[in-house]
Amino acid sequence: MPRKPNNSRQTRTLLAALLDSGLTWRHGYDLSKETGLRSGTLYPLLMRLSEQGLLESRWQEAERPGLPPRHAYRLTASGLALAREQELAAIAAERKEALA
């Protein structure tokens, strides 16, 4: 049976973190700290979500002088829809477990 795409625990964690931020731009290191995902896991996920059109990225100028521009990320409309769908599915699964 083929695996459902974007349904791994790490992807769900990342999508949940990005959904909480809404339309706010997030940075890689911040996301890594919040989700507990290391850069070796986080960046492949970000790349994949971006390829699928679920994530948009842009370069942001540094807030302090002397620092390089930073890559920032947020979910696209379809990414937000998927993240909401997964959140609802997770809530439904939790309720089902509680009832059982």
Partner 1 sequence: MSTLRGSRRLAVRLARHAALALPGASSPWTEAMRRELAYIADDRAALRWAFGCVLASYKARLAARSGSRTRDALRQAAASGAVMLVIGLAFLENAGGQTEPPRPIPDEPACDAQNTAADTGQMPATGAAGIAPDARRPARRPEASCTDPHSEMRMPLTSEPSRGESQ
Residues near partner 1, by CB under 8 A: 27-29, 32, 38-44, 46-47, 57, 67-71
Closer of 8 and 29 to partner 1 (Cβ): 29
**Six-digit token pair at 14?**
């990342």
- Rounded to the nearest whole angstrom, what is the least distance from the CB of residue 39 to partner 1 in the complex? 3
Whether the CB-CB separation of 70 and 60 falls below 8 Å is answered with: yes
The H-or-E segment that residue 71 falls in is strand 70-75
Q: What is the total residue count of the chain?
A: 100
- Rounded to the nearest whole angstrom, what is the least distance from the CB of residue 56 to partner 1 in the complex? 12
Give residue for tokens 């930073």: 70
- Rounded to the nearest whole angstrom, what is the least distance from the CB of residue 96 to partner 1 in the complex? 34
Closer of 57 and 87 to partner 1 (Cβ): 57
